[in-house]
Amino acid sequence: MAMAGPPSSSTLTFRQFGALLTVAAVWGAAFLFIRVAVPVLGPIALVDARMGLAGLLLLAYAASRREAPRRTWVGRFLVLGALWAAPFVLIAIAELRLTASLASVLNPRLRCSLPCWLSARSVSA
């Protein structure tokens, strides 16, 4: 199966540049929000609120498409939600001391290294 290559033009169009700026602003605003809210709410309550809101939005989207999740998936959703929330909790705890910009740079590295930490912990136990 052939994969689509990069666009033929090596320069960004105005629309692409606007989309890039929008993504950067939304990405940065999330970390700024965490930095401001975590001292007030605490890391776990903040992540619970963010994940709960995201879950409700996804359920509303699924309901609008008439695609309700199956009852047998509830356990899977809970496990995946806990695994997905772990890096957010760690970032929120770190943002009690780090700047929002440093946390946004460290975020991808945390997501890549978390499985290594979990597997190393299970091997040493």
- Give residue-wise pLDDT tens across range 50-85: 888 888 888 888 888 887 777 777 788 788 777 778
pLDDT category at 42 given cuts 50, 70, 90 is very high
pTM: 0.62
Average pLDDT over residues 12-24: 89
Q: Is the dihedral of CA 59, 23, 10, 106 positive or negative?
A: negative
CA–CA distance, 71 with 1 (Å, rounded to integer): 35
List the alpha helices (DSSP H) in the chain: 14-41, 43-64, 74-94, 100-124
Element (H, E) at 96: none
Taking each helix axis from N to C terminus, what angle separates 43-64 and 14-41, rounded to the nearest 10 degrees?
A: 130
CB 34 within 8 A of CB 100: yes
